[in-house]
Chain A
Amino acid sequence: MLLEIQDLYGGYGGRDVVRGVSCQADAGDILCLLGPNGCGKTTLFRLVLGALPIRRGSVRIDGREVSSLPPRALANLAAYIPQSHRPVFAYTVLEVVTMGRASHFSAFEAPGTVDRDAAFAALEKLHAAHLANRNYAALSGGQRQLVLIARAICQNARVFLMDEPAASLDYANHQLLMDVVRELAGQGYCVLLSTHGPEDPVSVADKALLLREGQAVAFGKAKEVITPQALEAVYGMEMDVLTVHDRYGAERTICLPVKKP
């Protein structure tokens, strides 16, 4: 297993926000984190990234204990892809992507031709090479998200953590992003992503982890885990999970809240 989280406890101050979560994901897996705000999704990410101390349990990536790794070594294992943000200064896209190479040299060095080539190759991998010399701040939200994914690719980590990547995107860009995520998994990356769309796991993910108040309600194959009972336990409202066929005959899953008339 590429990513193994075992009985994980951690939080802020003395209070545990994540309590006893376990899950696994392998190369090529997409693992969706689902749950209401404050259920511990972001905290779980922070624990995996080493930004918060682990109080109990363990996070292993590629068999190595995350809490024992210095930042640079961890950066070579796991990459964080934040929501697309607007920077204060007008960096070019290539400059932003090259920042992903920071863990490949020491603090007093600067990126060289190798690093810029790696950055460019990462953009090409996402079919975004034409953006290389554009002003990052002037791009659309979807394009900026793509650039941040390219930055993660040239970081050379194999586990990607995406914190609600769809939150700042419009509907079409959300769908396009999910296609990119599927492509990444196809290339052997392990993608951990948190989302507010209960349909995202069934349409994209191999696996789903349902969280409520810091505890795992369910973990497993998305098709098996996303059930009306599980969703009701997570969101505290009546939910239906419907299977339908789209115009091309593909089987699709729809989740929707229902109300007794």
Chain B
Amino acid sequence: MEFFYREEERRARRRYRLVLLALLAALGGAVLLSFGIGYYPLTPGQVFRAFLSRFGYGGELQPQAATIFWRIRLPRILSAVCIGASLAAAGAAYQGMFRNPLVSPDILGVSSGAGLGAALAIFSGAPGWLIQLAAFAGGIAAVALTYLVSRRAAYTQTLSLVLAGSMVMALCNAGVTMIKYVSDPNGALQQITFWLMGSLTRASLDSLARSAVPMGVGLAVLLALRWRLNLLTLEEEEAGSLGVNVRRCRLLVIFSATLLSAAAVCLGGLIGWVGLMVPHMARALVGADYRRLLPASALLGAVYLLLMDGLARSLLSLELPLGVVTSIAGAPFFICLICKRRGR
């Protein structure tokens, strides 16, 4: 019997390693693919030469190819990878913490807060870096408000957080609508609407670098804490009796998931569904244990968003907003999910 369980353990570990390798390979493939597709298609040979051109090799090459590779597609691809991984990791963590598989990273109002911050900055004519900063600050402020309000509510902590979150979300959305209403229809309004759709067109290496720091911090904390995330899926009292400081643990998770999603939103706008559906796909691949689920979710999120962005750029002759593409892909997935749950 003991042999049997060890054998099963080994099999699970082997399977996990295999999944990670496959995901890494898929990520590599998706990156190569993404360099090639777009308004100005590049062949794999051109991509390779454009890459080498920076280092003085590469031979004959149209000058646009190098510019497209380094100035347009590289920041965009890196942004898609970072945003996808961040949203998926934050979503996986929140689904465990709220003990609800239908939770997404913006449950505490981070996206709405970021939207309000961005709308305010655009309305007052701020430059791009300030819009990004305002969105980030707005997201953090919204979650902080949610957290503070929830501490005064007379329900269990998770329910209080959900209630406070929906209140903050409603407030921020009303603020955004108000700003849109008073904005110049030919200037700020267009820009706000476009920002809220979610897109990677404005990604640059500078904006990516600004978002990468909070993303790195958030992901590092979540990864270090990932086995404890399992314990947060228990009732508060039960987890406490196992020796876990539940409130401190939850606060750490909220902190890092907020850093991740705020940094993602301020880089690419509102890109929905990734944080909700990717953890489910990862769970189907590696099981529920967060020790395996969190790394797998992050990798899968990166691959998924990269592919979605590829679709957004190549589906029609004009580029589709990425947020729209992820929603179109996400809604049927969600319907499948709830139908399967009812059938069980």
A 80-120 to B, binary, CB cutoff 8 A, 1 in contact else 0: 10100101111110110001101100011111000010001
A51: chain B residues at CB < 8 Å are 237, 240-241
Return the CB mask of B189-232 against A: 1 if under 8 Å, else 0.
Answer: 00000000000000000000000000000000000111110110
Contact status A82-B235, CB under 8 Å: yes
Asked if B285 CB lies within 8 Å of chain A CBs, one says: no
Chain B contacts for A103, CB-based, 8 A: 242-243
Nearest-CB distance from A218 to chain B (Å)?
A: 28
Decide: B242 and A88 in contact? CB cutoff 8 A. Answer: no
Q: How far is the CA of A124 from the CA of B4 in the complex (A)?
A: 13
A91 CB contacts on chain B under 8 angstroms? 230, 287-289
Report the bound CA distance from A46 to B291 in whole Å.
30
A109 touches B227 (CB 8 A): yes
Which A residue's beta carbon lies closest to that of B289? A95
- On whether A71 and B288 interact (CB within 8 A), knowing A87-B233, A89-B96, A129-B5, the answer reads no
For residue B234, CB closer than 8 A to chain A, the reply is yes
Q: Is B100 an interface residue (CB 8 A)?
A: yes
What's the minimum C-beta distance from B159 to chain A, rounded to whole angstroms?
A: 15
Per-residue interface assignment for chain A, residues 54 to 92, with 1 indicating a CB less than 8 Å from any chain B CB and 0 otherwise: 000000000000000001111110111010010111111
Number of A residues near B (Cβ < 8 Å) is 41
Contact B233 A89 (CB under 8 A): yes
Chain B nearest CB, measured from A235 CB (Å): 27
| Least CB distance, A38 to chain B, in whole angstroms | 18
Task: Tell me the complex Cα distance, A73–B244, Å.
Answer: 10
B243 adjacent to A120 (CB under 8 Å) = no
Q: Is the CB of A120 within 8 A of B241?
A: no
Quick check: B224 and A120 within 8 Å, CB to CB? no
Whole-angstrom distance between the Cβ of B234 and the nearest chain A Cβ: 7
Asked if A94 contacts B5 (CB within 8 A), the reply is yes
Q: Are B238 and A82 in contact (CB under 8 A)?
A: yes
A49 interface residue per 8 A CB criterion: yes
- Residues in A with CB closer than 8 Å to B244 are 71, 102
Which residues of B sit under 8 angstroms from A108, Cβ to Cβ?
A: 224-225
Which residues of A are found within 8 Å of B235, using beta-carbon distances? Answer: 82, 85
A133 near B243 with CB under 8 A, answer no
A208 CB to nearest B CB, Å: 24
Is B9 interfacial (CB-CB < 8 Å)? yes
The 8 Å CB contact of B288, one of A76, A78, A90, is A90
Q: Which residues of A contact B225 (CB under 8 A)?
A: 107-108
Residue of B nearest to A72 (CB): B243
Residues of B within 8 A of A94 (CB): 5
B8 to chain A, nearest CB (A): 5
Q: Is the CB of A80 within 8 A of B9?
A: no
Inter-chain CA distance A51–B240, complex, in Å, is 8
Q: How far is the CB of B279 from chain A (nearest CB, A)?
A: 10
Measured in the bound complex, the distance between the Cα atoms of B287 and A133 in whole Å is: 12
- List the B residue with the shortest CB-CB distance to A148: B238
Known contacts A107-B249, A132-B5; decide if A88 and B99 are in contact (CB<8 Å). yes
Q: Within 8 Å of chain B (Cβ to Cβ): is A247?
A: no
- Residue contact B1 to A130, C-beta cutoff 8 Å: yes
Residue of A nearest to B235 (CB): A82
Q: Please, how many angstroms separate the alpha-carbon atoms of A124 and B2 in the complex? A: 9
- Interface contact B5-A95, CB-CB below 8 Å: no
Q: A90-B287, A107-B228 are in contact. Are A71 and B9 (CB under 8 A)?
A: no
B245 close to A99 (CB less than 8 A): no
Judge if A155 is at the interface, Cβ distance under 8 Å: yes
Interface residues in chain B, defined as those with a beta carbon under 8 Å from any beta carbon in chain A? 1-2, 5, 8-9, 96, 99-101, 224-228, 230-231, 233-235, 237-238, 240-245, 249, 283, 287-289, 291
Give 13 A-B pairs besides A82-B237, A95-B230, A133-B8 with Cβ atoms closer than 8 angstroms. A51-B240, A76-B243, A87-B234, A88-B100, A88-B101, A89-B96, A95-B289, A99-B234, A102-B243, A102-B244, A103-B242, A107-B228, A116-B9
Complex A-B: 9 CB contacts under 8 Å:
A51-B237, A75-B241, A80-B241, A85-B235, A88-B100, A88-B233, A91-B287, A107-B245, A116-B9
